[in-house]
A and B are shown apart, each in its own frame.
Chain A
Amino acid sequence: MVGDVFKALADPTRRTILDELTVRDGQTLFEICSRLATNHGLTSSRQAVSQHLDVLEAAGLVEIRREGRYKFHYINTAPLEPIVERWLRARGQT
């Protein structure tokens, strides 16, 4: 699981997607693509962004919530907790 998180975070576009979800949580694919293009000059195709989101979702870093006909993406930082636990908190305790 932690391996998936590192793999998901290894890609700069995926980190940028998480940055933009931090700015405003709960975005459609369209909004994410627009933000990547206009704020970061990342003109990946919608399909490519969708695949990035699939990777982030598989790692648990993004959650998809359906609301009627719409689909929104939310950041979930819970999978980062074990990392903090392992190298920051554990070290602080010793």
Chain B
Amino acid sequence: MRITVMSVFVDDQEKALRFYTEVLGFVPKHDLPAGGARWLTVVSPDDPDGTELLLEPSGHPAVKPFRDALVADGIPFTMFAVPDVRAEYERLRALGVRFTQEPTQMGPVTTAVFDDTCGNLIQIADPS
């Protein structure tokens, strides 16, 4: 078994596509109509055949209370790897991204947590 797709719930697929590509730097992979919404995935430009991230509409009523509770406690929905968390923190901050946790050494890794503007907190980590 392999992980081919993982999803994040997003409030607005178009806005999410912009944030995940223009700000985070992923590239679009699939964009297909799927029952009123889109099957919309992005991938890392460094790994175009790697795991796809599905930008899944957050319309289900269970999503909001679940996500509100996670965000209030600062708990990231998922995690991405970057070569250098501090450099990425500076880059994203310059683009107006809001961090709930500044780069912090956590054992063998440095991590930081930011708001993806689509309803989630995302953790970035490097193997420093």
Listed in ascending order, the chain A residues whose CB lies under 8 Å from chain B are 24, 27-31, 34-35, 38-39, 46, 50, 69-72
B49 at the interface (CB under 8 A from A): no
Inside 8 A of A70's CB, which chain B residues have their CB? 71-72, 74, 100
Selected A-B contacts with CB under 8 Å, 14 pairs: A24-B102, A27-B74, A28-B74, A28-B75, A28-B101, A29-B74, A29-B75, A30-B75, A31-B101, A35-B106, A38-B106, A69-B72, A70-B72, A72-B100
Inside 8 A of A46's CB, which chain B residues have their CB? 73, 75
Minimum CB–CB distance for A62 against chain B, Å: 15
CB pair A31 B72 closer than 8 Å: no
Minimum CB–CB distance for B15 against chain A, Å: 16
Minimum CB–CB distance for B58 against chain A, Å: 14
CB pair B68 A30 closer than 8 Å: no
Q: In chain A, what residue has the closest Cβ to B123?
A: A30
With A28-B101, A34-B106, A35-B106 known as contacts, the answer to whether A69 contacts B74 (CB < 8 A) is no
Inside 8 A of B104's CB, which chain A residues have their CB? 24, 31, 34-35
Q: Which of B68, B72, B74 has the most CB of A within 10 A?
A: B74
Minimum CB–CB distance for A71 against chain B, Å: 5
CA distance A48 to B124 in the complex (A): 25
Inside 8 A of B72's CB, which chain A residues have their CB? 69-71
Inside 8 A of A27's CB, which chain B residues have their CB? 74, 101
CA distance A28 to B121 in the complex (A): 12
Inside 8 A of B75's CB, which chain A residues have their CB? 28-30, 46
Minimum CB–CB distance for B113 against chain A, Å: 7
Q: Which of A27, A28, A38, A72 has the most CB of B within 10 A?
A: A28
Minimum CB–CB distance for B2 against chain A, Å: 28
- Find B73's partner among A24, A30, A38, A39 (CB 8 Å cutoff): A30
Within 8 A of A (CB), among B85-128: 100-102, 104-107, 111, 113
